[in-house]
Structure 1
């Protein structure tokens, strides 16, 4: 009885191939003129899985409460889920913090069991509490310089800051401090006058539609849209045209020193003896001008100004 040999299992090719029905029954088997079989195209999904993507770079945390929650999400995604070692997690956490923050967390490096959890808890109490994040946003917005008329770049910078604050407040669901009337008035005052008028109309329209006073979120959406319009192609053209057509103010004739100099023509010697109504010196009551008065010459600058303007 003949025993058939056991064949080894088929070897799976290193790259999966996606072949059509015509590839399973190629035409070259029936066509004697075909010299070689067609090649199968590799599967695109499989090829994309084999590509090694570069390691994402995490921006270091600088101690700004506005950046706390975005930093936490990055650590959770790229460090916390990729290792179960508390010691390794703490090492990476210290690596991705600036020196001012890492110095506070280095005291937990000796604890290899719960050092990472204690460091994360310390960061939350120092930078991530809702009132700390909200106060940081409010302070940054109030310190922003008012946007000047016809400056699209400044308006875009203001809208970027408003959006960043909105993103930070969404993480903690805290808008009360920025929805206050005093804060909104200060933010509105940073806009050019024409945008303040447009916001007054827009806020009243929202009040009629919703029955509620417009708050920080509505104001942010309004400024973002205005900034995008101002920085568009035709928006910039309108701004540049307004700057070109703006009438120029001619400077005053004469030097700047002459504009701020004190004239002594009223008290000059020419007006004292030669004029029909002679005047006496306001300093020493003698019949000469103030500019030639010896007492006036001995006075300090502040006293001279007081004496000169005494009878102006």
Structure 2
């Protein structure tokens, strides 16, 4: 590609596909167009974290983060979370609000931590109501039957 053809091709691609608002819209749709995550679904949390990281990295690289941090988008992401995690985020956001506005990055770190917890032993057990795991073990006594009548232990059967 002589005469700057490569640079011209890049400019054409940037004009057609590299407009920040188009990229933002595509990434936000990928992140937000999903079902609400169920309690204990660590895989779905990790999928959301992955989409959020993709948004964060891409939009930071092109310098287009103002929409990422909008309260409206943070609320949409919060609505995807299980209610128990929504409540935890509300408490975390309340703490952050004492100093500043919560950001997309704050929420990403929070959700990533929740995804990590969900994949550990106790996190994987959340929301399960398996009675077999919480029942007391049954104790069985071994009974031996004999044809003789029982003897008295105190007097060796002499009565």
Band of TM-score, shorter chain: 0.7 to 0.9
Residue deviations 1:161-192, cap 9 Å, x none? 11111111110222221222222211110000
Pairing 1:243–2:128 present? yes
Pairing 1:227–2:143 present? no
Q: CA deviation at 1:215?
A: 1.9
Q: Which protein shows a greater Rg? A: 1
CA distance in 1, matches of 2:4, 2:65: 34
The TM-score with structure 2 as length reference comes to: 0.74
Pairing 1:115–2:41 present? no
The aligned residue for residue 63 of structure 2 is 173
2:43 to 138, 153, 169: 153
Residue deviations 1:254-307, cap 9 Å, x none? xxxxxxxxxxxxxxxxxxxxxxxxxxxxxxxxxxxxxxxxxxxxxxxxxxxxxx
Residue deviations 1:46-104, cap 9 Å, x none? xxxxxxxxxxxxxxxxxxxxxxxxxxxxxxxxxxxxxxxxx3xxxxxxxxxxxxxxxxx
Note the aligned Cα RMSD (angstroms). Answer: 1.7
Question: 1:244 aligns to what SS in structure 2?
Answer: coil
Question: Of the two structures, which has the highest relative contact order with CA contacts closer than 8 Å and spacing of 6 or more?
Answer: 2
Question: 2:80 aligns to what SS in structure 1?
Answer: coil
Tell whether the 8 Å contact from 2:42 to 2:115 is kept in structure 1 after alignment.
yes
Aligned residues: 131
2:52 to 162, 177, 182: 162
The aligned residue for residue 53 of structure 1 is none
Gaps of 5+ in 1: 1-86, 88-111, 247-312
Equivalent positions of 1:25-36 (< 5 A) are none
Gaps of 5+ in 2: 132-159
The aligned residue for residue 205 of structure 1 is 95
CA distance in 1, matches of 2:65, 2:34: 19
